[in-house]
Amino acid sequence: MNNIVVLTIAGFDPSGGAGIQADLRTFEALGVVGISAITAITVQNSTGVKSVHAVEPDILKSQLDFLLSDIKVHAVKIGMLGGVPQVEGVAELLLKYRPPNIIVDPVLISTSGKRLLSIEGVEAMKRMLFPLSTLITPNLPELETLTGIKIDSQTSMDSAVRILNKISVQNVLVKGGHSEGDAIDTLYQSQGLPQTFHATRVVTKNTHGTGCLLSSAIAAYVAKGNALHDAVGLAKGTLSSALHTPVSIGHGNGYPHISRTI
């Protein structure tokens, strides 16, 4: 069998809802083989993130070098990065091995309010990783932080995406989950008009790691040969059904879970 391999470069969430564990669970459920490199270890449970400990950049680079010198990957998902040295390390290794289909989830702040990437880290990610990406997947607050534009209309969203295009971002999926009503995401591709994806809002507190699941699912579907537009549609469907079968453990927020059928 010809295995399809997807690499996640992300943080470790010991409660299992987000980060590397969510990514690997998603890959497994969607029938691709997951491999991973850890950028940071967080201390967190279902109630939130207590602290963040970035992995030594040399260790991160060594993980990536050893993996990529050995295994051919079909897509890469990048999540939480930790800091400037980790961003630099990831960019260096991506430039060395040039894997295809790089999906960047620009993780900036946890839902519980903990900063997961420093301000300098955000600038480094924009400068070094965005130009290497196939797609970035900001939610509305992340799009505002990345561009400095207040998003309150279609026009302001269009302007924000144009700012990202100017720094060599090819494709942007703006996730509308933070606005009112149904969850409407908008895909801006380098060619053609923006396309929207609608999903009925699932009213739940079990939303921890939704961004991780969505970006990993997009990476998996693209790795399996789907066009970007189709991969986004499929991934959104996957997330919607996973939100209906959550894992709710601990005193805080649970997380969507793909492989559960009851």
Q: Find the part of the chain contacting ligand PLP (CB under 6 A) among 119-127, 140-148, 152-160, 209-217.
A: 209-217
For ligand PLP, which residue of 5, 18, 91, 242 counts as binding (CB under 6 A)? 18
Q: Residue 32 and residue 184: Cα distance in Å, rounded?
A: 27
Least distance to ligand PLP from the beta carbon of 10, Å? 5
Residue in 42, 46, 171, 206 binding ligand PLP, rule: CB under 6 A: 42
For residue 57, give Cα distances in angstroms to 42, 63, 85, 107, 117.
Answer: 16, 10, 6, 18, 14
- Of the candidate residues 35, 54, 212, 258, the single one contacting ligand PLP (CB under 6 A): 212
| Minimum distance of ligand PLP from residue 164's CB (angstroms) | 19
Q: Does 46 bind ligand PLP (CB under 6 A)?
A: no
Distance CA 111, CA 209 (A): 9
Measure the N-to-C terminal CA separation of the chain; round to a whole number of Å.
30
| 110 near ligand PLP (CB under 6 A) | yes
Given 26, 42, 147, 207, the catalytic residue: 207
Residue 142 near ligand PLP by CB under 6 A? no
Residue 156 or 179: the one with the smaller Cβ distance to ligand PLP is 179
CA 61 → CA 87, 88, 89, 149, distances in Å? 10, 9, 6, 34
Helix (H, G, I), strand (E, B) or coil at 8: strand
| HSE-CB of 13 using CA atoms within 13 angstroms | 28
Give the binding site for ligand PLP (CB under 6 A).
10-11, 13, 18-19, 42, 49, 79-80, 107, 110-111, 208-209, 211-212
What amino acid positions are annotated as catalytic residues?
Answer: 175, 207, 209-212
